[in-house]
A and B are shown apart, each in its own frame.
Chain A
């Protein structure tokens, strides 16, 4: 069985600075995988490399066994990979409903058509309503997305990310900047909407990571120092020295 996502010797340099220094990682289908690491470790850069936002300097990214080299973000998305962003990235001037509906268009096969009316398609509109219900934003349906609260915008972003039906979901710090209750809410949401899908997330909140994920990779200075199940990673000496020790101490 091919892995859902496979990284092989992935490297990225900005000028002379090497940010990602050879990452090998294999994430299986249906796995929930977290990438953690101190600030500046290159987690977001790694995400951007995988999703085609930046071209890699060397190495390979394979999605279901297909090499993603040279593919534009929209092509990668069509192959079944969807992502959210660290900084909320929605369509602020469109309504919440429109946001979700737009994210369904491609996967429902509408492409660039100008002979279909979006309001006429029952499947499209009901699909969008369903997602709104999943992310609990049905009562915000007709508001411009830009006026939602921060947590609601994050929820909407997750809704947009999963709407297209991609089977590999990448979330970049979905709970960043949230209060405890908001975090609980978002974690529950993530659990619900990624059921049966492959999830890769960058996260700072250790509680979230250990509760949600099957496996964890620790990224330090562009290299993965450990990969494994939460308990194993927590016990790993190198990880504790490099990163976790400080974080765990801070929690107490």
Chain B
């Protein structure tokens, strides 16, 4: 009884900026500012820029998928169109001497992306389900196909390229170096992410969730589900366009690749991998995917196989994505039982990791055995050189894989048990918690 009355009388403060809401933003901004001092090489900067662009794009995509319940198979169109427009503007700035500072370019990309979204959204957002998905797929294919037809805008097969350094210098910066571009991109990342977050807190953003959950009920609350979807779609198009503008600034070239279904598919994959249920999910997805893409692809030709397997496993076992996996630990944390999970985690995950590496090694060995040049029998894995035509590496790899998985499976029983205990309040503690 005292419990409920305390809730009733407790004054809630609305809209105040609290440490809990501001801290993540401040921390992330600081990390973005410091990162270039930690990773100074040019290739690291390229990867980080790529990551930032993907984050903006994935967050924009999640405005549809996670918050609006719209599955789009053609979202690359809005990023690509924004990017192409920015390349043209960049060239006009160069040839016509238009005094446009480079940092404003993404706004143009955004507006163009939003313009496209306004046109397409006017008919595609009528329903959310299969019809929306099919229209997005059709439009995606259509625009990608027109890239070789409308050469004046898309530049045909070689795309459109330009030079970002002709813009109006901003405080003396002409964006010649990677580091300057990094800070420009990072600035836009923080700004776009913040705006997208705030959008989700507005009436139309809240209703996007309502329409996702139950479009019919939303209609009976005075909202047209179609208009709510349309506004989300336009906003998403804007930020996708911003991502396109950032891409144009970073790579100074856009091609058909930026529009096609592969790009659309991978952003779906990234967003889902990160987790559609939480605002920060796509950020994690974009970081992990970009790392896999850039780091793993240097190590092995089979990286796409591994990314694909990761995606399938995520969809099957963790539909909440990586963010969902992280947030699963909030309950044990609140109950103060996170510590009990450490040992079972180590005992399960390390053998599992060994098993996975073993399985990957087997794939690599197989691939090398089948596809290496004739007579080329030597390969090395994890710094160990051996011949693919001797039985020893095969036996070792299979044994390591089997033992790894067997141990993981055996120890997972304990993990599951601890997990169950960590998610319920122990009776003795319950009295104290009240």
Q: Could you tell me which residues of chain B, from 2 to 20, have a CB within 8 Å of some CB in chain A?
A: 3-4, 7-8, 12, 14-15
Q: Does A14 contact B (CB under 8 A)?
A: no
What residues of chain B lie closer than 8 Å to A164, measured between beta carbons?
Answer: 221-222
A115 near B202 (CB under 8 angstroms)?
yes
Q: Which residues of B contact A92 (CB under 8 A)?
A: 213-214
Residues on the B chain within 8 Å of A139, using CB:
3-4, 7
Cβ–Cβ contact A91 & B214, under 8 A: yes
- With A74-B219, A94-B210 in contact, do A114 and B7 touch (Cβ < 8 Å)? no
17 contacts between A and B (CB under 8 A): A51-B220, A77-B222, A89-B216, A90-B214, A90-B217, A91-B209, A98-B210, A105-B203, A105-B221, A114-B199, A114-B202, A114-B204, A117-B15, A118-B203, A119-B15, A139-B3, A164-B221
Q: Does A103 contact B (CB under 8 A)?
A: yes
CA distance A237 to B205 in the complex (A): 55
Name the residue of chain A whose CB is nearest to the CB of B222.
Answer: A106
Which among B204, B219, B227 is the interface contact of A73 at CB below 8 angstroms?
A: B219
B219 CB contact (under 8 Å) in A77, A111, A120, A125: A77
Residues of chain B in range 303-321 having any CB-CB distance to chain A below 8 Å: none
Given the known inter-chain contacts A74-B223, A116-B203, A120-B15, please indicate yes or no for A160 contacting B198, CB distance below 8 A.
no
Closest to B4 in A: A139
Interface positions, chain B 126-172, Cβ under 8 Å from A, are none
* Residue of B210, B217, B221, B228 most packed against chain A (CB within 10 A): B221
Are A114 and B231 in contact, with the CB atoms below 8 A? yes
- Chain B 154-192 per-residue mask, 1 if CB under 8 angstroms from chain A, else 0: 000000000000000000000000000000000000000
A138 to B5, CA, bound (A): 10
When A74-B224, A83-B220, A138-B8 are in contact, do A114 and B205 touch as well, CB less than 8 Å? yes
Give chain B residues whose Cβ lies under 8 Å from the Cβ of A107: 222
- Chain A residues near B12: list those with CB within 8 A: 125, 129
Chain B residue nearest to A103 (CB atoms) is: B221
B201 within 8 A of A: yes
Decide yes or no whether A66 CB sits under 8 A from chain B: no
B59 within 8 A of A: no
Question: Which secondary structure characterizes the binding site on chain B?
Answer: helix
Whether B206 sits at the interface, judged by CB under 8 Å, is: yes
Looking at the complex, which one of B202, B212, B219, B222 makes contact with A117 (CB distance below 8 Å)?
B202
Q: Which of B15, B202, B209, B214 contacts A89 (CB 8 A)?
A: B214
Other-chain contact of B202, A113, A125, A129 (Cβ < 8 Å): A113
Given contacts A77-B221, A90-B217, A114-B205, 11 further A-B contacts (CB under 8 A): A74-B218, A91-B217, A102-B207, A102-B209, A105-B222, A110-B203, A116-B203, A119-B14, A121-B15, A138-B4, A141-B7
Minimum CB–CB distance from A222 to chain B (whole Å) comes to 24
Q: Quick check: A93 and B213 within 8 Å, CB to CB?
A: yes
> Chain A contacts of B14 at CB under 8 A?
119-122, 125
A72 CB within 8 Å of chain B: yes
Q: How far is the CA of A53 from the CA of B217 in the complex (A)?
A: 11
Q: Closest B residue to A166 by CB, please name it.
A: B222
Q: How far is the CB of A71 from chain B (nearest CB, A)?
A: 11
Q: For B3, list chain A residues within 8 Å (CB).
A: 139
7 A-B pairs closest in CB distance: A106-B222, A120-B15, A110-B203, A91-B213, A73-B219, A77-B222, A114-B202
Which A residues from 55 to 91 make CB contacts under 8 A with B?
A: 72-74, 77-78, 82-83, 85, 89-91
A126 to B, closest residue via Cβ:
B14
In the bound complex, how far is the Cα of B213 from the Cα of A64, in angstroms? 32
Minimum distance in angstroms from A93 CB to a CB of chain B? 5
Is residue B85 within 8 Å, beta carbon to beta carbon, of the partner chain? no
CA distance A138 to B227 in the complex (A): 31
Given known contacts A77-B222, A91-B209, A138-B4, A113 and B204 CB-to-CB distance under 8 angstroms: yes
A119 CB to closest chain B CB (Å) equals 5
A138 to chain B, nearest CB (A): 6
B86 interfacial by beta-carbon distance below 8 Å = no
* Chain B contacts for A51, CB-based, 8 A: 220
Asked whether A113 lies within 8 Å of B203 as measured between CB atoms, the reply is yes
Give chain A nearest CB distance to B208 CB in angstroms.
10
B8 surroundings in chain A (CB, below 8 A):
133, 138
CB distance from A86 to the nearest CB of B (A): 13
Measured between alpha carbons, how far is A78 from B227 in the docked complex, in Å? 15
A133 to chain B, nearest CB (A): 7
Chain B proximity of A81: nearest CB distance (Å) = 9
Which residue in chain B gives the minimum CB-CB distance to A120?
B15
Residues from chain B with Cβ under 8 Å of A204 in the complex = none
